[in-house]
C-alpha cells in the first residue's frame, strides 16, 4: 500500500506539471480579471497552488503570449503590466466553451483508459 507522504509527493509533482503545462491559460485567465505584471502572476501562482514558479518560466510564457498577439504589455510606474487583447479574450472564451471536453480528456488520461 502506498504511504501518505508518497501520495502527497505524487500529488505535488502532478500539480506542478499541470500548472506548468497550462501556465499560458492561467496567465490569460488572470488577465481576464484585471491587468497584472509578471510579478503579480508569480505571486498568484505561489499563493493559489503553492508552487514557486521561476521568473524565467513565467516571462517566457508571457513573451510567447505577447508575440502571439494574445496579450499586450505597457509600462506603468516602472513595471510592465499586461492586458488581454481581443484575440486573447476570444481565445479564453473558446477554451471555456470546450472546458467540459478538456476535463473529460484529462479524466480519461488520469484513469489510464487510453486504448
Integer CA distances (angstroms), 42 to 46, 66, 71, 92, in order: 6, 17, 17, 20
pLDDT of residue 113: 64
Tell me whether strands 36-37 and 71-76 are parallel, antiparallel or unpaired: unpaired
Lowest-confidence region among 5-19, 24-38, 54-68: 5-19
Neighbour-count burial of 85, counting CB atoms closer than 10 A to its CB (0-12 exposed, 13-18 middle, 19+ buried): middle
> What are the tens digits of pLDDT across the range 73-84?
999 888 999 999
Structural domain total, the chain:
1
- pLDDT tens, residue by residue, 24-52: 999 999 999 899 999 999 999 999 999 99
Rounded to an integer, what distance in angstroms lies between the CA atom of residue 27 and that of residue 38? 9
Domain range enclosing 14: 4-111
pTM of the model: 0.84
d(CA 85, CA 7): 40
Return the DSSP state at 70: S
Q: Cα–Cα distance between 17 and 48 in angstroms, integer?
A: 15
Distance of CA 30 to the CA centre of its chain: 9
**pLDDT-derived band at 11, boundaries 50, 70, 90:** confident
* Residue 20: predicted pLDDT: 93
Q: Rounded to 5, what percent of the chain is helix, strand, coil?
A: 70, 10, 20
For residues 20 and 106, the model is more confident at: 20
CATH of the domain at 104: 1.10.10.10
Amino acid at each position: 500500500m502506498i504511504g501518505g507522504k508518497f501520495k502527497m509527493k505524487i500529488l505535488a509533482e502532478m500539480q506542478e506539471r499541470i500548472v506548468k503545462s497550462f501556465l499560458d491559460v492561467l496567465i490569460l485567465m488572470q488577465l481576464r480579471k484585471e491587468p497584472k505584471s509578471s510579478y503579480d502572476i508569480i505571486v498568484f501562482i505561489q499563493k493559489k497552488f503553492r508552487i514557486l514558479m521561476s521568473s524565467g518560466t513565467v516571462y517566457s510564457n508571457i513573451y510567447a503570449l505577447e508575440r502571439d498577439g494574445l496579450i499586450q504589455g505597457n509600462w506603468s510606474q516602472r513595471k510592465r503590466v499586461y492586458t488581454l487583447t481581443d484575440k486573447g479574450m476570444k481565445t479564453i472564451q473558446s477554451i471555456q466553451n470546450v472546458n467540459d471536453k478538456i476535463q473529460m480528456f484529462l479524466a480519461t488520461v488520469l484513469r489510464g483508459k487510453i486504448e
